[in-house]
Chains A and B, each alone.
Chain A
Amino acid sequence: MDTGTNIIEIQDLTKKFGQLTAVDSVSFSVYKGEIFGFLGPNGAGKTTTINMLCTLLTPTSGRASVSGYDTSKQRRQVQRIIGLVFQDTTLDDYLTAEQNLLFHAYAYGVPKSVRETRLEQLLELVELSDRRKSKVNTYSGGMKRRLEIARGLLHHPQILFLDEPTLGLDPQTRHYVWEHIHALRQQEELTIFMTTHYMDEAENCDRIAIIDRGKIIALDTPDNLKDSLGGDIVILEAEDSQKTMLELKEKYNLSPQLQDETITFNVPHGETFLPQLIRSFQSKLVSISVHRPTLDDVFLKLTGHAIRDQEADAWTQFRRMMPH
């Protein structure tokens, strides 16, 4: 990774759909060669941002550039150097894998001299060589995703955009897709820009931007984000929550939070703190657990709600917007 060079630069990027502000004055940069993760619940503005970066949408205001080309003024140049794998499949189901790849090669003007070798090499990479002549409608979901990744790379892009690359795939296939993504970065000198709402997947990224309701609320490496919470997370239940809260505050100088009878607080070293606590604690405890912070915790801390809560929320809103 070359932290000196920005391959994507975004400044005050905003997209409005009527009254709704999907992306709200977002600014950030992506380094050349990194895996950059865009993390947030559904409806947070991830796909809208990607669509602006890949020239499908024109920003309402602000600007974005990819490798120095403006995404709304120099569309053609941007399109040539990016590869895309969308959330939903964009393959032609009635054509074979080979025909889909050839269409892409023609559309991007891949020179004839390298076309065949490139095709073979990529099918090899995603382990679909034996299914080359099969129609795509005979493929499983995971195979389609792999084929799309191969297709996205066919024209040697500098950046690969992956919009929820593992959405709807079973855990085994997800793992498999990730193996491919890591292998790719080694082989192709790629920058990868991906969106996800799976916290565990975001751990694979070099840096993560957390987006909520159209705004970026944090941007750092996964480790730094987790460290920012101030150590491990202790969750306990007590017979008398109020008394326990008070004791934790006064005796240990902590700032616990109470939610539905469970008390949560952070301590720098959970595993050594717990024995101390148990030895001297006055109030009666029912259960106690400690874990290293996850990105879920980071999200919860930053937004005040869990990523899943909001998804349900977004879904309800969506349902309400529908005519019937």
Chain B
Amino acid sequence: MKAVLRATWVIAYRDLLRFIQDRPRLFGSFAMPLLFLIIFGAGFNRIIGALAPGVDFIQFMYPGIIAMTVLMNSLMSGLSIVWDREFGFLREVLVAPLSRTGIVLGKVTGSSVIAIGQGLVMLALAPIIGVKIDFILVLKLIPLLLVISITLSGLGILMASRMRSQQGFQVLMQIIIMPLIFLSGVFFPVNNVPVWLEVVSKFNPLTYGVDAIRQVFLNGNMSAVAGVSGDSGYALGVTIFGHTMGIIEDALVMAVLGVILLSLAIWSFSKQE
């Protein structure tokens, strides 16, 4: 246990140190979420207008953009492993007397801290978009962002544990990121779509992350979701077998997926030669 903790801290320490010194990445990971927010926001806002009483499209999308920022940064855990493998540093890590489980947990810790930090930085946009935030909201948000980032870091490491080249990983990441984002309910509610799309979306772990964050943000206005989903057809939330998911339930789904992905990641990473 002590060995696992030591490895976790050493690896997380280095990843954070590295992050602070890597300015392009510091700004780069905001680029895509911001771009989506601006382009989709400007493009669709006039057409779509208000989705529910008091919630316009940008306000609907904004929580999803925060989830997306966390997603991008969490998957970086995987990229950093592939990067280290390609540039040799991974060998220094693998021959050190460090627990492999601890190494994976260190990568997760490092990327989660960064992801949560970046997610919270996105909150600075809230006043511009017309979303009210307060201290309680931030407190509610942090554990959610943590669950999302741990789950997706697990996914990133699982993908990276056997990848040899950065190019390969980038391709894989694009293939995975796009559907993860587009089918997560960031841009449209996943209940009012064709059945196949709905089914795929509900297997997407990010869907529950986006939904939970959205519920935190739209607290009052989610009433449109909670009860009347079936009738209004304007449900913004996620329903499974007619049951509308609450924040805690969303978080639990993410957490279960997280434990599975992380266990697979540790297993796969430990077995490599």
Report which A residues bind B (CB closer than 8 A).
Answer: 54-58, 76, 79-80, 82, 84, 86, 88-95, 99, 103-104, 106-109, 135
Closest to B93 in A: A107
Give the interface segment out of B94-102, B196-204, B222-230: B94-102
Task: Tell me what chain B mostly uses at the interface: helix, strand, loop, or mixed.
Answer: helix
List of B residues within 8 angstroms of A103 by Cβ: 10, 13-14
List of A residues within 8 angstroms of B17 by Cβ: 95, 99
List of B residues within 8 angstroms of A86 by Cβ: 88, 91
Contact B273 A91 (CB under 8 A): no
Of A57, A89, A90, A108, which one neighbours B97 at CB under 8 angstroms?
Answer: A108
Closest to A96 in B: B21
Of A54, A57, A90, A109, which one neighbours B273 at CB under 8 angstroms?
Answer: A57
Complex Cα distance, B91 from A55, in Å, reads 11
**Within 8 Å of chain A (Cβ to Cβ): is B89?**
yes
Contact A84 B97 (CB under 8 A): no
Complex Cα distance, B18 from A103, in Å, reads 11
Closest to A77 in B: B97
The answer to whether A94 and B22 touch (CB under 8 A), given A86-B88, A88-B88, A106-B13, is yes
List of B residues within 8 angstroms of A55 by Cβ: 95
**Within 8 Å of chain A (Cβ to Cβ): is B135?**
no
**Within 8 Å of chain A (Cβ to Cβ): is B6?**
yes
The A/B interface has a contact count, at CB < 8 Å, of 64
**Within 8 Å of chain A (Cβ to Cβ): is B92?**
yes
The answer to whether A104 and B88 touch (CB under 8 A), given A95-B21, A99-B17, is no
Query: C-beta contact mask, B72-105 vs A, less than 8 Å → 1, else 0?
Result: 0000000000000001111111111110000000
Contact A107 B97 (CB under 8 A): yes
Contact B10 A76 (CB under 8 A): no
Contact A56 B97 (CB under 8 A): no
Complex Cα distance, B98 from A80, in Å, reads 10
Query: C-beta contact mask, B212-225 vs A, less than 8 Å → 1, else 0?
Result: 00000000000000
List 4 extra interface pairs beyond A86-B88, A89-B87, A103-B10, CB under 8 A.
Answer: A79-B95, A90-B88, A94-B18, A107-B93
